[in-house]
Amino acid sequence: MRIKFLKAFNGDAILISFKEKGDTRNILIDGGMPATYVHKDKKGKLKYGELKETVDKIRESNEKIDLLVLTHVDDDHIGGVLKWFEKDKEAHKIIGQVWFNSGRLISEHYNEQEIATNLLEIPDDGTLTSIGQGVKFEDYIEEKGIWNRRTFVSLDSFKYLSINFKILSPSPDKLQLLLGKWEKEKPESLYTSVDKNDYELTLKEHIAKDKFKEDPAIHNGSSIALIMTLNKKNFVFLADAHPTVVVNSLKAFGYSKDKPLKAALVKISHHGSKANNSIEMLELIKTNKYIISTNGNKHAHPNKQFLARLASINENCEVYFNYPEQIEQIFKPKDYSDFPNFKPISKEGNEFNF
């Protein structure tokens, strides 16, 4: 299996490729920001991003994206895919199927009347969020006939292609909250609007003052987070999921602190946010490879408080950054002396082979 973490600016875009009966299969999880496909530079010249390059290579190789997973509707996950659909009128022809928990699908899955009595009262202040993008995406994949209209909910377990999937998030209640938001917007949460970084403190200083408070953002709570198992190796992709949901799912699947899930790689939740990665969750997954996908230009991700939390429970690990320039900004000389085996690192091409 080959896993490539595209440079998706402050978002996620992950290409997973593997052989099945001699053919190459491709799975794309999210598409990053719109600029991950194409954008204009300061001089107005078009610049193509790694999503465009990836799509072109797949097409030139007479392959397809056998599965596109859109984890949730935030712009840093859906934006690049929508830009691709906008610019490439043949996009749907190289997509096998799409997994996406949309408002339309959720309302069909649950009893709408029951949900209607439990919707949050959400202030209408005109703040723009990504629900409109979600509706646009939903319309496209339904029109093109590429939508697997299955609702993906925690504790689902099934096989697709040669891969065994276990769904860690979202829980049913998180999906119900998303349906409420689908119909009436809510401003972005505190956690996605804070822009000041916390890099002035050392890892040990963060450990001494650590307090966990979970991300309340409804979008993030609706994320499809999953375990993929191929050739007896587990790969964990946490999207922007809420850690309490992931913890509950891991425990329900039989994992514990004493018997953790053994994983070859973990894509950390919400770009390394301190509000989406609790110690309890981290202790349920045993790995020496963690991936953080973000350039740090928005929302001050990753939070160093999260990295300190990780160092405190797994100081012998590698933390990969798909934008390596972040490493110098975050880590101080004292961090390296305090935790000599905790290795912030980059990898050429952001590509891993297993």
Query: 195-232 pLDDT, tens per residue?
Result: 689 999 999 999 999 999 999 999 999 999 999 999 99
Between vectors from CA 301 to CA 326 and to CA 192, what angle results, nearest 5°? 160
Q: For residues 287 and 235, what is the distance between their CA atoms, to the nearest angstrom?
A: 10
CB 241 within 8 A of CB 278: no
For residue 74, give the nearest of 235, 193, 172, 198 by alpha carbon. 193
For residue 224, give the nearest of 151, 275, 308 by alpha carbon. 151
The pLDDT confidence band at residue 183, using thresholds 50, 70 and 90, is low
Architecture of the domain whose range is 2-353: 4-Layer Sandwich (3.60)
CB 274 within 8 A of CB 212: yes
For residue 280, give the nearest of 248, 234, 252 by alpha carbon. 248
Q: What pLDDT, on the 0 to 100 scale, is given for residue 179?
A: 78
Cα 160 to chain centroid, rounded: 20
The pLDDT confidence band at residue 111, using thresholds 50, 70 and 90, is low
Residue 57 in tokens: 């290579």
Q: How many H-runs (helices) and E-runs (strands) does the chain carry?
A: 14, 18
Asked if residue 348 has pLDDT above 60, the reply is yes
The pLDDT confidence band at residue 41, using thresholds 50, 70 and 90, is confident
Q: What pLDDT, on the 0 to 100 scale, is given for residue 193?
A: 45
**313 Cβ partners below 8 Å, 6+ apart?**
279, 282, 283
The pLDDT confidence band at residue 105, using thresholds 50, 70 and 90, is confident
The pLDDT confidence band at residue 148, using thresholds 50, 70 and 90, is very high
For the segment 247-289, what is each residue's pLDDT rounded down to a tens digit? 999 999 999 999 999 999 999 999 999 999 999 999 999 999 9
Radius of gyration of the chain (CA): 19
DSSP 147: B
Phi, psi for residue 316 in degrees, rounded to 5: -110, 70
For the segment 293-322, what is each residue's pLDDT rounded down to a tens digit? 999 998 899 999 999 999 999 999 999 999
Q: For residues 154 and 149, what is the distance between their CA atoms, to the nearest angstrom?
A: 16
Kindly report which listed range (12-21, 39-48, 71-80, 271-280) carries the lowest average pLDDT score. 39-48
Q: For residues 41 and 134, what is the distance between their CA atoms, to the nearest angstrom?
A: 27
Helix (H, G, I), strand (E, B) or coil at 324: coil
Cα 322 to chain centroid, rounded: 14
For the segment 184-192, the average pLDDT, to the nearest whole number, is 40
Q: What pLDDT, on the 0 to 100 scale, is given for residue 115?
A: 40
Q: For residues 90 and 143, what is the distance between their CA atoms, to the nearest angstrom?
A: 13
Q: For residues 299 and 188, what is the distance between their CA atoms, to the nearest angstrom?
A: 11
More confident position, 103 or 193: 103
**60 Cβ partners below 8 Å, 6+ apart?**
none
**Per-domain residue ranges for the chain?**
2-353
Phi, psi for residue 34 in degrees, rounded to 5: -50, -35
Q: For residues 279 and 111, what is the distance between their CA atoms, to the nearest angstrom?
A: 35
Helix (H, G, I), strand (E, B) or coil at 290: strand
Q: Order of strands across the sheet with 265-267? A: 157-160, 163-169, 225-230, 233-237, 265-267, 289-292, 317-321, 342-345
Residue located via tokens 């009347």: 113
CB 226 within 8 A of CB 168: yes
Q: What pLDDT, on the 0 to 100 scale, is given for residue 112?
A: 52
Q: For residues 40 and 159, what is the distance between their CA atoms, to the nearest angstrom?
A: 41
Which residue type occupies 44?
G
How much of the chain, in percent, has pLDDT values that exceed 70?
90
